[in-house]
Chain A
Amino acid sequence: MQDKEKSPKPKYNMRQNSAYMISLAWRVKEKKVLVLSLLSAALSVAINLINLYVAPSILSAVENKVPISELIIIILCFTAALIICVAAAAYVGANTLFGRIQVRLSIIALLNKKASTTSYPNVGDEKFGKLCAKAGEATCSNSQATEAVWTTLTNLTQNALGFIIYLTLLSSLDPRMLLVIVATTLVGYFISKRLNEYEYRRREEVAEYETQMQYIDSAAENYEAAKDIRIFNIKPWLEELGDKAIKSYAAFHRRANGVYVWGRVSDLVLAFLRNGIAYAYLLNLALKNGLGASEFLLYFSAVGGFTSWVSGILGDLSTLHRQSLDISTVREYIEYPEPFKFEDGDAFEPDNTAEYEIKLVNVSFRYPESEKCVLENINLTLHPGEKLAVVGLNGAGKTTLVKLICGFYDPTEGQVLLNGKNIKEYNRRDYYKMFSAVFQDVSLLAATIAANVAQTEDGADMEKVKKCVAQAGLLDKVESLPEGFETNLNRTVYEDAVMLSGGETQRLMLARALYKDAPIIVLDEPTAALDPIAEAELYEKYNEMTSGKSSVYISHRLASTRFCDRIIFIEESRITEEGSHEDLLASGGRYAELFNVQSKYYREESCK
């Protein structure tokens, strides 16, 4: 399977991306990354040079029978120099990690900020999603581009420095000798590169096997699937597919290694040629021009060293190129255009004493990729203080309607107005301050109960936290915990964390909504795991706690929202019925029909 997909030209090139990383390190005050990298390169070259000279120098001292004291001094000098450089290099090496991690962390923070604040439509955008996944991958470990690039830049500096010094050193030799070295190294490099691309060119095939193996591992490790695995005897099924994936993966590597081996063979042939020529040339110098044994050793080692500088530079450049692509992706993601206004929009601070009216005028909405409208021509006003219910079957468009009200999407046609002003004009983040919402999936933080209520760790008003938790009916539970409000949640992060039940989590979410105390409450079928009674109770609890505020409740269970002032029934992208529960039942429309289906088994007269 060849990779046919031609990737678009990256927005930034190798030089721009290196500059970006350097200036980023500078900006986040991690200059030590640059200093330590330079030091590390310089020390490596120094150590290399000392090692290059130590044997020939000592050899020539012995050959020339210098006095013992001088011999010992020479050895000591080399040893001392080497100790200083090696110790410094080890110390620098132990310290390079942290600054580099910090720079990567700052990129992770930028990415997470982008991901968690980008205009909501981007979240569902495929191109954005792909960039996001790639950018995330480029920062997920030390070996990824955003951190490993420092190693590449360090190596490149070191190899370039070494190259220049050795070039001067070898300049007394025949330049043809140098040409032979460079030429054989280049040829070897390109042959190997071409062959080693075997896997890269088939990376989609490899990725497919890897995904499969990973998926099977994760399926077997899914504790929630353990019951099904046992009852349906799923083990042989998983193992058969797992073995198949590993076999395909191994077969691929067998083929790949069949290719790579020729790279190594070509290397050894070229090394044979290069060393043969170098030996011949130097032996000739030795025999004809009287080159000494120690000089012979020096030059021969230098030839080897020069080769590795050249191949090092080539390798680093190709690594840098690869990493630059990833860094470019990261930057493109961070710079991805935002359809919503944020800091450039009108600032807005909701005021709990003011009255707010939200009005949808001729609103239609279609997802960008789709042909069909999810909502068509909706006109709806949420009056100040009104309790509004949105009901309908799964897939009718309830959640989309709520997302339009909350400003997560902009209508394809029509407008959403807050007190008569199009919400597009506001800083969208400010507009979100209007809502205390609980959606189907709630985001519990890996933090204390108090922090989960206040959504901040410092500056939480503990009195208010307590009051809200009490109002939500969770105080007894919280006080029964040894750590009380300081109890951590999320067991995958904190091993001492407490697991709240579904109902307790819902109460915590209520406390959080109360703490935020925004003008409008929104409840979107908080969780499917709640049974109908618990759901109805929860809705009534919200109703009680938030009297006087506007609220929007969504459910497919018609009984849950009976208490609302007004119920709108959505079917096939439109509001088809509207009124109080009693009105809707009396009118005998679809609402009444559905209600009858749901209540049928409860009514005695329908007994078989």
Chain B
Amino acid sequence: MKRTSGKKRLSWKEAYKINSKAFRLLWNRYPQMFLSRILCVIWDALTPYAGIYMSALIIEELSSGRNPEILTRLVLITLISAAVISLVSAFLIKWRDEKCAGMYFKVNQIFTKKLLDMDFASIDDVKTHEKLSTIKQNQNGGGWGLYRVIGNYESIISSVFTLIGGCSLTVTLFIRQVPESAGALTSLNNPLFIFAAVLAMFVIAYVSPALSNKAGSYYADRAGSHNLGNRLFGFYGWLGYRKDLATDVRIYRQDSFCAKFLNTKTGVFGSNGIFAKYARGPIGAYGAAAASVSVIFTGLVYVFVCLKAWAGAFGVGLITQYAASITKLSGGVSSLIGTAGDMKNNAAFLKLVFEFLEIPNTMRKGCLRVGGRACGDGAGGYEIEFKDVSFKYPGNDEYSLKNVNMKFRVGEKLAVVGQNGSGKTTFIKLLCRLYDPTEGAILLNGTDIREYDYLEYVKLFSVVFQDFKLFAFTLGQNVGARVAYDKAAAENCLRKAGFGERLDKMEDGTETYLYKDFSKKGVDVSGGEAQKIALARTLYKAAPFIVLDEPTAALDPIAEAEIYEDFNDIAGNRTAVYINHRLSSCRFCDDIAVFHKGRLVQRGSHEKLSADANGKYYELWNAQAQYYNS
């Protein structure tokens, strides 16, 4: 179980380093957010002492002089200072809440930005997906990870200021001496008591959070089963809500399958589950012990303070001041130690976060410009050549492509055919530089494509992938792949792609939102229509190379035939690469490349290839044609 990454405890030093790193990451991005939160907690940590101090003075006066004038003045100061403190608080909170709005999304942006910048090879790697999904589960399940760093730093600073405030109100407890007349109680003046008090405070302040952390560790150490439980639950608790699966669910009575998972009480979170059992046993016991220890400390403080007061070292007012301050002070120590423990626990989760954020981009990115010519509507004279290219997917021992040599002729229409797994799509991925070849090289006008600036090179290609994706933004933005798109051009491309009829029915035209995920006003489009929009997007880009990877899968025969007929028109004078299972589509291409088991086995026109009765093409063609020639 790799996901139980919380198990590996890091050392204090490592924990400190990784927390600081996380802090710097967030601080550099959102300094105002941190500053506002820090000022808020400092204010909150210090100001309660004003109240404690003032009420002690009032009590003292009440128990001794009872001078109405002094009392009135004290009360007024108390009231006004409380009001001023609240007023400052109100505006500090306003500032903080403004700066923190959307914080959850802002933190998440760190991850999405990484995904957008990552090499395709990394994003195509299942391990990357698993890392991110574990990070998210840790975040959503136990609140572990990057987001927790903010709260932890807040808590550390708050504790420190609570300590400072508490100390300044308690120093006098040790300075004020019990008068000699008090007899045996004068021994309370012994400086050893200061030492003992501090020691007791630290012991107890350490023991209490240590016990809490011990209780908490039952959860942290089992984050793995926690996560698996969450995932199972996330699956079976909501299966019935899947509209697309509703028919299948009913025919196979999957409701009973779900019910079994949901009605058990022994699931991870169930009332008879593993955590419930721990809660009845050690978690509950440690928690209770942790709470009691703090109370014992308060009791000891009262004894010491009251004895000194009883012996005459100070008046009753100060009893309340000292007791309250020391209780707060010990709370500060506890929270300091507790937070430190929490940061140490969180470090293991942060490590995973950084493993993800620091996935290296290893693709070589040169800086050559692609050429003086602007990427116009034409083929632009770009010539691409595969030279002895072989390719293995990372972590795979088998070659997906082996010794491929081929040259694209400018402006030609090339069909790439082959069975599933023959390497067709891999070939396209290499061509568009989603991957770099393992061996050999791809040349653009005689120069290795790795020498070119990546974005410049990619500008040469327009692709409709088999599993293309549209976004739930406006139609026009989808065609232009940008916010500020050229309206006339977008419309033109949509019409060329066969979307004209539907476009005319849309009230907002190219400003119509697609789907309802982003805007409620969005409209749904069918799979066939989506394919046409994707086609329009490739046309809009006007790149010299156009690649279509099975663009007709979701279309019915009539629409499919239309695309075939118009293909030459659509592609214009660009170099076009067309992948299709269906060999019938090859008939209108000048040139056909046949892939088999990662190798380029045949190349030529349909007439030439279908004449070779021993060739792969002949075999594929006949296998398909038999369904239509009876």
Contact = CB atoms under 8 A, between A and B. Distances in A.
Given A98-B271, A250-B101, A443-B254, A123 B243 contact: yes
Nearest to A32: B271
Contacts of A236: 482
B247 A95 contact: no
B323 interface: yes
A79 B295 contact: yes
A276 B260 contact: no
A52 to B, nearest CB: 13
A354 interface: no
**In this complex, which of A227, A235, A240 has the most chain B Cβ atoms within 10 angstroms of its Cβ?**
A227
Contacts of B253: 429, 432, 455
Interface stretch (A254-262, A377-385, A417-425, A543-551): A254-262
A120 B242 CA distance: 12
A63 interface: yes
A117 B255 contact: yes
Given A91-B287, A293-B59, A443 B584 contact: no
B299 interface: yes
B295 A105 contact: no
Contacts of B296: 79, 83
A294 B260 CA distance: 61
A116 interface: yes
B502 interface: no
B270 A87 contact: no
A601 B564 contact: yes
Contacts of B507: none
B216 to A, nearest CB: 10
A217 B105 contact: yes
A393 interface: yes
B245 A443 contact: yes
A120 B247 contact: yes
Contacts of B303: 72, 75
A276 B112 CA distance: 53
A241 B472 CA distance: 11
A261 B254 CA distance: 52
Contact of A78 (B299, B468, B587): B299
Query: Considering residues B248, B258, B561, B625, which has the most beta carbons from chain A within 10 angstroms of its beta carbon?
Result: B248
Interface in A409-451: 429, 432, 435-439, 441-443, 445-447, 451
Contact of B482 (A237, A252, A283): A237
B68 interface: yes
Contact of A456 (B243, B257, B557, B624): B257
B2 A246 contact: no
A490 B235 contact: yes
Contact of B262 (A105, A129, A219): A105
A32 to B, nearest CB: 7
A562 interface: yes
B429 to A, nearest CB: 8
Interface residues of B, number: 165
Contacts of B556: 393-394, 556
Interface string A76-117: 101100110011111101110111011001101101111111
Task: With a 10 A CB-CB cut-off, give which of A62, A231, A254 has the most chain B CB atoms.
Answer: A231
A94 B83 contact: no
A55 B310 contact: no
Contact of A68 (B273, B285, B307, B473): B307
Given A75-B306, A221-B112, A246-B102, A408 B247 contact: yes
Contacts of B624: 532-533, 602
Contacts of B481: 232-234, 237
Contact of A241 (B105, B319, B473): B473
A88 B291 CA distance: 9
Contacts of A275: 79, 82
B279 A441 contact: no
B541 A232 contact: yes
Kindly name the residue among A83, A512, A558 whose own CB sees the greatest number of chain B CB atoms within 10 A: A83
B35 interface: no
Please classify the interface of chain A as helix (H, G, I), strand (E, B), loop, or mixed, using the class held by over half of its residues: helix
A287 B251 CA distance: 84
A68 B310 CA distance: 8
A603 interface: yes
A556 B215 CA distance: 61
Contacts of A403: 247
B275 interface: yes
Contact of B130 (A78, A83, A495): A495
Given A62-B316, A437-B247, A94 B255 contact: no
A390 to B, nearest CB: 14
Interface stretch (B164-172, B445-453, B458-466, B591-599): B458-466
Interface string A287-298: 100001110110
B320 A59 contact: yes
Contacts of B239: 112, 116, 443
B492 interface: no
Most interface-central of B68, B320, B537 (chain A CB within 10 A): B320
A101 B89 CA distance: 36
Given A226-B123, A439-B248, A136 B316 contact: no
A443 B288 contact: no
A170 interface: no
A215 B623 contact: no
Contacts of B48: none
Contact of B120 (A32, A230, A234, A536): A230
Contacts of B465: 227-228
B319 A268 contact: no
Nearest to A139: B237
A339 interface: no
Contacts of B438: none
Interface string A588-608: 000000110111111100011
A493 B231 contact: yes
A531 B269 contact: no
A334 interface: no
Contacts of A258: 94
B628 A559 contact: yes
A443 B240 CA distance: 10
A71 B557 contact: no
Interface in A555-603: 556-560, 562, 581-582, 585, 594-595, 597-603
A113 B79 contact: no
A492 B288 contact: no
B525 interface: no
B63 to A, nearest CB: 4
Contact of A116 (B240, B467, B623): B240
Contacts of A58: 302, 306, 319
A406 interface: yes
B41 interface: no
Contact of B237 (A112, A264, A594): A112
A22 interface: no
A279 B3 CA distance: 59
Q: Name the residue in A88, A112, A598 with the highest tally of chain B Cβ atoms < 10 Å from its Cβ.
A: A112
A71 B310 contact: yes
Contact of B66 (A90, A269, A286): A286
B252 A455 contact: yes
B292 A87 contact: yes
Nearest to A110: B262
Contacts of A95: 276, 279-280, 284
Interface in B580-630: 581-585, 587, 621, 623-625, 627-630
Contacts of A208: 520
Contacts of B585: 601
20 contacts: A54-B302, A79-B299, A94-B283, A112-B259, A217-B109, A230-B432, A283-B75, A287-B68, A293-B59, A293-B63, A393-B557, A490-B235, A492-B133, A493-B234, A494-B228, A495-B130, A532-B582, A532-B624, A594-B558, A597-B561
Given A117-B240, A446-B231, A598-B561, 6 more contacts: A58-B319, A90-B287, A109-B237, A268-B90, A439-B248, A443-B242
Minimum-distance CB pairs A-B, first 5: A116-B240, A599-B628, A115-B240, A601-B584, A79-B299
